[in-house]
Each structure stands twice: as structure tokens, then as C-alpha cells.
Chains A and B, each alone.
Chain A
């Protein structure tokens, strides 16, 4: 395997006295798609929020594209430029138009001229199939449209990795598909992706690796075919029984 884009080595984290992450280690290679699942409170969101330092880990090492995440502000900013993130609650900037949401970071962080940033933005809006909404404000869009804008906003920074933190959990059922379609397309183009999601259909289609977490630990790592057909641990069997049970 070539050099991993993301490498976590015995990462530990505490919220006060609560031990959220216990010795979490994983490697994500270039172009690999990893789906992290597990019951609520298992620490799966915390793991991916550590990858771009929205959360600080206390023990262990995290390397992104060969750069270690430490307290060094410059390093963190460099890594964040290369790591795109999509949130459960979209987090679009409500005071800016869709287009301005997309051009803000390229213009301020990458110093792209507005003309170029706008062209890139329109390209990605086409890709997520809502170029006609460019001049609207986020509050005027549906949830599914907002999440697609959020994906486009992250892509405008031309990231090497995309992190998805339960991107469909806040959506109405009929809007989940339009977001997943965009994510599947992205996966097929070779983007490196780490997704926290309960969309098992999506996981089956695109994942190279399933990571199952419980109580702050990685319990099981396996290719999806294996994971879904014959989970090795009782904990994973129980979890799959609950989410696929009906």
C-alpha cells in the first residue's frame, strides 16, 4: 500500500474525565473510501473531527498527508486547506449567497481571483446539479439542496480528502438520495473519503473498508461484503440487527 493520506496511531481523547477515544488506529490510503459506523456515543464523529483538528486529541499521533497535527497553528491551517468537511447540519453561511459561500474560502485562503473562484464555484454547482440556485441565500433552499451546496463548498478548495459527518441524518427521507448520488459520483472519481453514516446501502456500494466503533474503540475493521455477511463480533452483529432489522 502506498503512503496513507490519513494515519491515526493510538489516538486517545478525553472530554473531562470521559474517555471518548481509546487507542484508535487507522490508515486511509489515497483514493480509499472508509465508512465509519457504530451506535450513538461511540466516538465516530469525534474521530473524524480530530482529523482536521476541530477536536484536539491528547495522546497518540495523527498524520494527514505526511504532516503531523500538533498545536502548530500553521500546520493546522495547511491541513485544513487539504481536508474538506461536510457536516450533519450543513452549516452554510446564512448571510452569504450560495455563490458567495463557495467563493469565500478560495478567495481568502487560497487567494484565488474572484473570476476564477466564481468559475470553479459554478463548475461544482453544475456537478451537484443546482447551478440555478447560485444567487439565492441558503435559507431559501431545501435541506437536500443545502447539503449539496455544502459538498460543493468543500470541493471548491480542491481538497485531497473529504470528511463526511453524518451528511444525511438531518434530511427528510426523499432528499437523502440526491445527496447520496452526489457522494457516490465523487467516490467513483477517486476522491479519498471518510464517511460517518448509517446509510448501509451507500456503504455497500462505495466503501473499501468498514470500521465499526463502540464505546470509543474500533471493534471491527473489514471490507463491506465480509462485514455485512458475517460480522466477527457479537457487538457488531447486534448493531447490524438493529439498523437493518426492518
Chain B
């Protein structure tokens, strides 16, 4: 005797419940958003504050200490914010590259069989990651501005290079407008080295012969600019920094704020990256190394062909987080006076009173930069992902 299946009440149906929950969540979000916006608008109206982004085209009226592009107080607020963004990007890009290099070296060093090397790496990691990064920035800034001598007694590690509490000054080549040729040769060398490594891979597939493409590529990258420099007559003229009153003029300079920020962020983030690299290498089963060695591969080949490709899988997701952290931590620049995005936006907000717009721009810009980094790293992660599990 079969009985008819008992009828489920509609509120107990899984599909119906899912829809119900989603409608409820969307409703709450819309309600909260409406509350925030209407409240803000009401308060702005009550205080007679004009809203809008019109202030961006007005004259900024303040100078910015350093900038990759020319900036004048007569330029607009929009350009000031762009300068801040560029300063942030310069620190973030250099910081990401340097902290990845240092982090990888320290991470591998911590796994070294050499007692001294691994202990030194451990001390570095435990010191750096356990001190707040803001303190580290203040420390480096104080060290540079208080610890280094006045420009008059600047350290001269090499002729023409000055290290003082005004930052690092170094000479720039002055080769009657032909400097770009040498730079172009350098770029050409890098491109050729890249092509060479591709050619070496194809040749190895065809003939089995390995080719020292890294060493030859490196030599090429160095030799081409040198050759070019000889061709334009081996000029030796430099624009040297000169002590001029209380500071230097001429040459190129790097400010104490920039050096302190870059050093602090790099060393701090590198300690985290070191641990990420170490965990990535340890995550590769020891049997992989043994199998590769048993096949006759050399130690370096085992690392490059077997261990690293597998370790990267584990390394990349947390590495992405560290890149994002470094980029966002660069906003601490405001504490030591480096004109990054936050610092410039603060000035802008103080002068114009457009706090909501200023903070909105800040948030939007950081969001865009962070999402761009995330997107790139996710793409790279997909490329290195494993198939078949």
C-alpha cells in the first residue's frame, strides 16, 4: 500500500527558504545604505556644506616635497592627488620587489643546514614581524634624521655620493643628452636576455643540450650598455651634488622620508614573506626531492624544476595578501611626512573641508590599486595551479 507523500509546507522547502533569506539580506543592506546616505545629506544640509567634486579643479596652493612628475602649488588639487598616488605607487612597487627578494633569501636561509645562517634568519624574522610597522618607520626616520650628520659633515662612501640627514645625494650622468642611448641599450639587453632564454628552452627540447641562458643573459644585459657607453666616446662628465649653503644642489637626491618608508615597509613585509616562502618549500613532500635526486638531477635543478613549481602553489595566495598589506601600510607615510596619497589627501581635506569626497577618493583609489594587484596575482595563481585533485 503506497501512501501519498506528505505535503511539505512552503516555508520548509529548501529552495523557497534560500530565496527568502536572500530577499531579507538584500532588504537589510538597502535599508542600511538608505539610512546612511539620507542621514549624511541631512547633516550636510543642516551645516550648509556644499558637496561635490568641483574642488578638484581648483588651485591647490601647497607645495609637495617630492614628486615623480613636475608639480607646482598653482596646479590643481586633482594633480596634487595624482602626485600622491604616484608617490604611493613608487614606494609600493619598489617595496614589493625588494621585500620579495629579501623574503625569499631569508626564507631559504631559515631552512639552511648551516646553524649560524638559519639562526640569523630566525632572529631577523622574529624581530621584524613582532614590532609594529609604525614604530619601525619612526625608528628608521629618526635614525636617518638624527643619526646621520649635517650636510656639511656628510658621509662620502664614494666620490660624489653624500649621505646626510637630508637624505642620499648622488651624481647623475651628464653626457650631452646621450644618456638615453645607454638606457635604451640596457632595455635592449633585457629583451635579448628574455628572447635568449626562450631560444634556450626550444633548443633544449630539440637537441637536449642545456644552455647557461641565465648567466649569458645577465652578461648581455650588462655588456650592451657598456658597449654603447664606449661607442658614444666613454664620457665621464657627471652632474655632481655640491654643498651649497645648508643643503646640496645638483645631482639626484632621495629624501630621508622615502628611504625610511621604503626600508621600514620592506624589512617588515620581508619577514612575513620569508615565513610564507619557508612554509611553501616545507609543504612540498620530501619524497619529491628524493625522487628527483634519484633520477640524477642536480640540487639546483631539483629546486627549479620540481620543488619551486609546487611550492609556488602554496606561496602565492598568502603572498598576494602581503603585497596588499604593503601597499596599504604605505599610508603610514603620513606619520613621517612622505607625501603619499593619504598625506596629500589629508592636506586637501584640511584646506577644502571636503572630507567625505576626500575620503571617498582615497578609498576608491586604494580599492582599485588593491583589486588590480589581486587580479594579477589570481591570474598568476591559476597559471601555476595543479590539475587533477
Q: Do A and B bind each other?
A: yes
**B287 (CB) vs chain A CBs: closest residue:** A91
When chains A and B are docked, how far (Å) is the Cα of A77 from the Cα of B294?
9
**A140 touches which of B208, B292, B293, B388 (Cβ 8 Å):** B388
Q: Which residue of B lies closest to A163 (CB)?
A: B294
Q: Mark B8-19, 1 if CB is under 8 A from A, else 0.
A: 000000000000
Q: Tell me whether A80 and B206 are in contact (CB under 8 A).
A: no
Which residues of chain A come closer than 8 Å to B288, judged between CB atoms?
Answer: 91, 93
Interface string of A94-111 (1 = CB under 8 A from B): 110000000011111111
Given A138-B388, A139-B387, A139-B389: A107 and B204 interface contact (C-beta under 8 Å): yes
A41 interface hit (Cβ, 8 Å): no
Q: Which of B208, B210, B310 contacts A94 (CB 8 A)?
A: B310
Residues 189-245 of A contacting B (Cβ, < 8 Å): none
Given A80-B295, A157-B296, CB of A136 within 8 Å of CB of B309: no
Q: Mark B203-223, 1 if CB is under 8 A from A, else 0.
A: 011111110000000000000
B306 at the interface (CB under 8 A from A): yes
Pair B297/A137 contact, Cβ less than 8 Å: no
Q: Is A117 an interface residue (CB 8 A)?
A: yes
How far apart are B206's CB and chain A's nearest CB, in angstroms? 6
Within 8 A of B (CB), among A62-117: 77, 80-81, 83-85, 87, 89, 91-95, 104-117
Considering only CB atoms, which chain A residue lies closest to B295 in the complex?
A: A105
Complex interface bits, B112-128 against A, C-beta within 8 A gives 1, otherwise 0: 00000000000000000
Q: Are A137 and B204 in contact (CB under 8 A)?
A: no
B94: which A residues are within 8 A, CB to CB? none
- B205 contact set on A, CB distance < 8 A: 107, 113-114
Interface of B is mostly: helix
Q: Does B25 contact A (CB under 8 A)?
A: no
Is B356 on the interface with A (CB-CB < 8 A)? no
- In the assembled complex, the Cα of A52 lies from the Cα of B290 at a distance in Å of 10
Band of interface residues on B: 20 to 34
B-chain residues with CB within 8 Å of residue A112 when the two chains form the complex: 208
A126 vs B294: C-alpha distance when bound (angstroms): 23
Contacting residues, chain A, for B389 (C-beta < 8 A): 94, 139
Q: Let me know if A91 and B285 touch, CB within 8 A.
A: yes
Which residues of B in the span 265-318 have a Cβ within 8 Å of any Cβ on A? 285, 287-288, 290-298, 301, 305-306, 309-310, 313
Q: Identify which of residues 330-389 in chain B touch chain A, using a CB-to-CB cut-off of 8 Å.
A: 384, 386-389
Whether B310 lies near A117 (C-beta < 8 A) is no
CA of A95 to CA of B389, assembled, Å: 11
A80 touches B310 (CB 8 A): no
Within 8 A of A (CB), among B196-248: 204-210
Does A153 make an interface contact (CB < 8 A)?
Answer: yes
Taking a contact as CB atoms under 8 Å apart, the answer to whether B208 and A110 are in contact is yes
- Closest-by-CB residue of B relative to A104 is B305
Given known A87-B291, A111-B210, A117-B208, contact A139–B296 (CB-CB < 8 A): no
A184 interface hit (Cβ, 8 Å) = no
Q: A85 to chain B: which residues have CB within 8 Å? A: 291, 294
CA distance A105 to B207 in the complex (A): 14
Q: Nearest A residue to B206 by beta-carbon distance? A: A113
- Cα distance A77–B285 when bound, in Å? 22
Q: Which residues of B contact A105 (CB under 8 A)?
A: 292, 295-297
Tell me whether A108 and B297 are in contact (CB under 8 A). Answer: yes
Q: Distance in Å from the Cβ of B263 to the closest Cβ of chain A? A: 36
Whose C-beta in chain A lies nearest to the C-beta of B389? A139
Chain B residue numbers with a CB within 8 Å of A54 are 290, 293-294
In the assembled complex, which residues on chain B have CB atoms less than 8 Å from the CB atom of A81? 296
CB-CB nearest in chain B for A55: B290
In-complex Cβ contact of A95 among B207, B295, B309 (8 A):
B309
Q: Which of A77, A89, A111, A113 contacts B298 (CB 8 A)?
A: A77
Smallest distance from the beta carbon of B98 to chain A beta carbons, Å? 28
The CB with the most chain A CB atoms within 10 A, among B207, B290, B294, B298, is that of B294
Which residues of A are found within 8 Å of B309, using beta-carbon distances? 95
Q: A137–B294 contact, CB under 8 A?
A: no
| Cβ of B211 to closest chain A Cβ, rounded Å | 11
CB-based contact A137/B209 at 8 Å: no
CA distance A117 to B288 in the complex (A): 21
Chain A: CB-nearest residue to B294: A85
CA distance A91 to B388 in the complex (A): 15
CB distance from A96 to the nearest CB of B (A): 8
**In the complex, A37 Cα to B58 Cα: how many Å?**
87
CA separation between A116 and B205, bound complex, in Å?
A: 10
CA distance A107 to B209 in the complex (A): 8
Within 8 Å CB of A80, what residues of B? 293-296
| Residue-wise interface mask of A (125-161) relative to B, using a CB-CB cutoff of 8 A (1 in contact, 0 not) | 0000000000011111000000000100110010000
Most chain B C-beta atoms within 10 Å of own C-beta, residue among A104, A117, A136:
A104
Bound-complex Cα distance A153 to B207 (A): 20
CB distance from B231 to the nearest CB of A (A): 38
- Asked if B386 and A95 sit within 8 Å, CB to CB, the answer is yes
With A94-B310, A154-B294 already in contact, 12 other A-B pairs whose C-beta atoms are closer than 8 Å: A80-B294, A89-B285, A91-B290, A93-B292, A104-B295, A104-B305, A107-B205, A108-B301, A109-B295, A111-B210, A114-B204, A157-B296
**Chain A interface (Cβ < 8 Å from any Cβ of B):** 52, 54, 77, 80-81, 83-85, 87, 89, 91-95, 104-117, 136-140, 150, 153-154, 157
Q: 29 A-B contacts, Cβ less than 8 Å apart? A: A52-B294, A54-B290, A54-B293, A80-B293, A80-B294, A85-B294, A91-B287, A91-B291, A93-B291, A93-B310, A95-B309, A95-B310, A105-B292, A107-B204, A108-B210, A108-B297, A109-B295, A109-B297, A113-B206, A113-B208, A114-B206, A116-B208, A117-B208, A137-B386, A137-B387, A139-B386, A139-B389, A140-B388, A154-B294
